[in-house]
Amino acid sequence: MKRIVYREWLVEPQRYWGLLAMLAGVIAVGGLSALYMEHEGHWVTGMTNSVVWGTPHVFAVFLIIAASGALNVASIGTVFDKTAYKPLARLSGLLAVALLVGGLLVLVLDLGRPDRLLVAMTTYNFSSIFAWNIFLYSGFAAIVIGYLWTMAERKGNHLQKPVGTFAFLWRLALTTGTGSIFGFLVGREAYDTAILAPLFVVMSFAYGLAIYMLVLFYAFDADGRPIGPAMLKRLKNLLGLFVAAVLYFTLVYHLTKLYGAKNSDIEAFLLINGGLYTALFWVGWVLIGGLIPLGIIYHPELNKQRDWIATASALVVAGGLAAMYVIIIGSQAYPQEMFPGHSVIQFGAPGDVGGRVAPYSPSFPELLLGLGGVGVALLITAVGIRVLQFLPESLADRDVDPHASARHA
C-alpha cells in the first residue's frame, strides 16, 4: 500500500490571512460581547430566573458534543481498522480539540463569575456531574493530543491503537456526561429520561462528522487536493447513517416520554403547541437537520456532487443548532410542574413566571458570544493545518485504498 503523505495547507497567503482576519474579527466581537455581558450583568441578555441557560449554552453544548463526534473519523480508522479512514485521522483529532476549546470557552465566558474559574478548577464537588465533566473535557483534550502524537511520530506508531481505543471510549464517556448534565435534572420534565444520553451520542456522531466534512471539503478545495468519489461516497453514507440514527433516537425519545403519561403535556408543548419551539423541532431538527439531508444523501444524482453533500452537511449543522435550542431552551421555557391537578393563576409579582411558558428571546451579545466560540474552533483548525502536517496530500481513491479502487474498477 502507498504511504500516505501529509502536507501543510498550501492555500495562497492572501486567502489564508484573509480567512484568519475574518475569524479573528468574529472572535473579537464575541470577546467584546462577553466583556459587555460580564460588565453589565446578565440582565442585558434574554436570560431570566426562568430561562437560566440561554443561547451561549446552545452553542457551547453543540460545539462540545460535535467535538467528540469529530473524533469519530479517527476512531473508525484506528479502532475499527478501516484503512480508508486512516488518512482522515489527523484532521479529526485536531478538529476535536479545536471544537472542544471553542465550546468550553463559551461555557466559561457565560458564567456569572468567569473570574472565579480558578475556584471551579480547584474546588470540586464530586457528586456533581458538572464537576466530572471538567475532568472529562480536560482529559479528552490531553488524550487526543497524545493520540495525534502517536499518529505523527514514528516512535509512537505502535501505541496508536491502544491510545486511539482509549480516546474512543473517553469520547463516549464525554458525550454521555454532557447528556447527563440534563438527564440529572429531576425537576424538569423534558430531561427526565434515560434516553437523553444515547441521543446525545448519536447527535455527536452526526454533528461532528458534518463539521468534519465541511472543513475537509473547504480545505481541500482551497489548495486543490483531490477527494476521490469512493471516499466521498464513504463519508456521505456515514453521515446518512448518523442522521438517520438521530431521527430514530428522537422518535424513541418522544415515544418514551409519551409512554410515561405524566409527561404528555411537555410532549404536546414540544410537538404541537409550543410555538417557536414546535416550529424549531419540526422544521429545524427534523426537516432541515434530518429529512432534507437524508434526501440529498440518498438522491441518486445529487449524492455524487461534492457541493450537494456539503449542503447536506451544512443543513445537519443548522438542524443540530435548532435541536440544541429546543432541548436546552424549550424545556426551560416550559413551566415546571409543581402542583398536579391545579392551575397556577398567580406566581409572585406580575411578570414573574410560573405555571406558564417563560418568555425568552436571545440577545445579540449572546449570539455573538456563541459565534465567537465557533470562530475560535475554526481559527485553531486553520492555523493547525497550515503550520503542521494534518492534511493528507491526496484523498484520491488510488492513494487511499488501492485495493478497494482496484476492486471497483
Partner 1 sequence: MKNESEPTNQGRRDFLGAAAGLTAAAVAPGMMLHTVDSEAAAPTGGVSDAHRWGLLVDTSKCADGCTACVDACDQENGLNLQSQPLGDDELKWQNQRATWIRKVKLQDNLTGQVTNLPLMCQHCEHPPCVDVCPTGASFKRADGIVMVDRHTCIGCRYCMMACPYKARSFIHEQVDQKLTRAPRGKGCVESCNLCAHRLDTGDISTACADACSAEGHQALVFGDLKDPTGPLRQALAKKPNRQIRQDLGLNTGVRYAGI
Q: How far is the CB of 116 from partner 1 (least distance, A)?
A: 5
Write the DSSP assignment of 192-244 as a string of letters: -STTHHHHHHHHHHHHHHHHHHHHHHHHHHHTT--B-HHHHHHHHHHHHHHHH
Q: Is 129 in the site for partner 1 (CB under 8 A)?
A: yes
Question: Which single residue is written with the C-alpha cell 449554552?
Answer: 57
Q: Is 342 in the site for partner 1 (CB under 8 A)?
A: yes
Nearer to partner 1, 197 or 395 (CB): 197
Stretch that binds partner 1, among 79-87, 290-298, 342-350, 386-394 (CB under 8 A): 342-350
Question: Which single residue is written with the C-alpha cell 409572585?
Answer: 348
Q: In whole angstroms, how large is the CA radius of gyration of the chain?
A: 22
Nearer to partner 1, 40 or 307 (CB): 40
For partner 1, the binding residue among 178, 250, 332, 394 (CB under 8 A) is 332
Q: Is 261 in the site for partner 1 (CB under 8 A)?
A: no
Q: Is 409 in the site for partner 1 (CB under 8 A)?
A: no
Nearer to partner 1, 13 or 341 (CB): 341
Nearer to partner 1, 126 or 259 (CB): 126
Cell numbers linked to 317: 449543522
Look at residues 379, 388, 364, 318 and name the one whose alpha carbon lies nearest to residue 22. Answer: 379
Q: What values do phi and psi take at 394, rounded to 5? A: -150, 145
Buried b (16+ CB within 10 A) or exposed e, 130-158: eebbeebbeebeebbebbbebbeeeeeee
Q: Is 138 in the site for partner 1 (CB under 8 A)?
A: no
Contact criterion met (CB below 8 Å) for 326 and 281: yes
Q: Which residues contact 88 (CB under 8 A, 6 or more apart)?
A: 73, 74, 77, 212, 216, 392, 395
Q: Is 343 in the site for partner 1 (CB under 8 A)?
A: yes
For partner 1, the binding residue among 9, 11, 27, 50 (CB under 8 A) is 50
Partners of 227 in the beta sheet? 395
For partner 1, the binding residue among 35, 169, 258, 344 (CB under 8 A) is 344
Cell numbers linked to 382: 486553520
Side chain identity, residue 336: Q
Number of residues forming the site for partner 1 (CB under 8 A) = 56
Q: Is 111 in the site for partner 1 (CB under 8 A)?
A: yes
For partner 1, the binding residue among 3, 13, 14, 123 (CB under 8 A) is 123
CA distance 254 to 273: 15
Contacts of partner 1 in 346-375 (CB under 8 A): 346-354, 358-359
CA distance 182 to 327: 9
Binding mask 12-41 for partner 1 (x = CB under 8 A): --------------------------x-xx
Point out which residues bind partner 1 (CB under 8 A).
38, 40-44, 47-50, 52-53, 111-114, 116-117, 119-120, 123-131, 134, 181, 184-188, 332, 336, 338-339, 341-354, 358-359
